[in-house]
């Protein structure tokens, strides 16, 4: 079994990371402090720890931890090093943008990410990101229209449900007709197409999954 080792990152390493992020325009100190505030609170609560317990484990005072979580303190590099070491977490987990627990998207309010007049429109509702291996999008295919997509690489899969009309999907030499309310899944490592042979617009919601890192 592979054991993941955690270690206290040196001040030089942490300083280097922060300098690089700021040089790239990825964050200001206020932005960094906000991320640390949100992430520290989430990590502490996920571990079921009180501020007293975190203070004991990290060597950072309870009052300082409370101020960091409230977003009213700018922790020094030394304090961040103590927190990552004491909680046995990677430094990146403290400074990455906080996870958003909820979001409501109306595709009709978005600008289509792909569109071909008389053929199809595609709206990306939740884009694929490094920290999230899932992408959610909506596809509308006009009557007689075809939307063609290239392969997305090995260990990629799509789940889709037709919300209106009838849609035909072709991939891996397999042709599947999908009716409203039905759910279909297929591997997307090869080029594939969505076709509407009906006389009304066919709509579907697609959930793209990259399971390369899922075991």
CATH number for the domain harbouring residue 190:
2.60.120.10
Same domain? 138 vs 200: yes
Strands 202-210 and 174-179: unpaired
Q: Which element (helix H / strand E) includes 178?
A: strand 174-179
One domain, residues 150 and 204: yes
pLDDT for res 50? 93
Asked if the structure places residue 100 within a domain, the reply is no
pLDDT, one tens digit per residue, over 104-125 is 889 888 899 999 999 999 999 9
What average pLDDT does this structure show over 3-32? Answer: 52
Residues 105, 124: Cα–Cα separation, whole Å: 10
Host domain of residue 200 = 107-210
| CATH code, 18 | 1.10.260.40
pLDDT, position 129: 60
Handedness of CA 13, 15, 20, 25 (dihedral sign): positive
The residue assigned the tokens 């700021």 is 22
Q: What are phi and psi of 57, to 5 degrees?
A: -80, -25
Does residue 102 form part of some domain?
no
Is residue 209 within 8 A of residue 134, CB to CB? The reply is yes
How many separate domains does the chain show?
2
pLDDT confidence band for 17 (50 / 70 / 90) = low
Residue 27, SS3 per DSSP? coil
Geometric angle at alpha carbon 47, from 46 and 48, rounded to 5°: 90
pLDDT cut 70: percent of the chain above it: 83
Mean pLDDT of 179-203: 97
Residues 143 and 51 grouped into a single domain: no
Is the pLDDT confidence value at 1 over 50? Answer: no
Give the integer Cα–Cα distance in Å for 154 and 168: 23
């Amino acid at each position: 079994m592979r054991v993941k080792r955690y270690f206290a990152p040196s001040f030089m390493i942490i300083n280097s990371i922060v300098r690089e992020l700021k040089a790239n325009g990825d964050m200001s100190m206020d932005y960094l402090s906000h991320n640390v505030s949100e992430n520290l609170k989430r990590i502490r609560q996920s571990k079921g720890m009180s501020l007293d317990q975190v203070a004991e484990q990290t060597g950072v005072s309870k009052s300082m931890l409370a101020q960091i979580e409230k977003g009213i303190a700018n922790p020094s590099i030394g304090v961040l090093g103590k927190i990552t070491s004491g909680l046995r977490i990677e430094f990146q987990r403290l400074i990455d943008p906080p996870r958003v627990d909820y979001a409501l998207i109306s595709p009709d309010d978005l600008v289509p990410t792909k569109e071909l007049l008389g053929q199809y429109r595609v709206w990306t509702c939740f884009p694929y990101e490094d920290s999230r291996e899932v992408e959610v999008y909506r596809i509308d295919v006009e009557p007689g229209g075809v939307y063609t997509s290239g392969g997305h690489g090995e260990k990629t899969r799509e789940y889709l449900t037709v919300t209106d009309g009838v849609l035909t999907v072709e991939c891996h030499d397999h042709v599947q007709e999908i009716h409203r309310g039905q759910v279909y899944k297929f591997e997307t490592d090869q080029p594939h197409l969505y076709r509407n042979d009906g006389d009304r617009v066919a709509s579907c919601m697609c959930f793209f999954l990259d399971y390369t890192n899922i075991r």
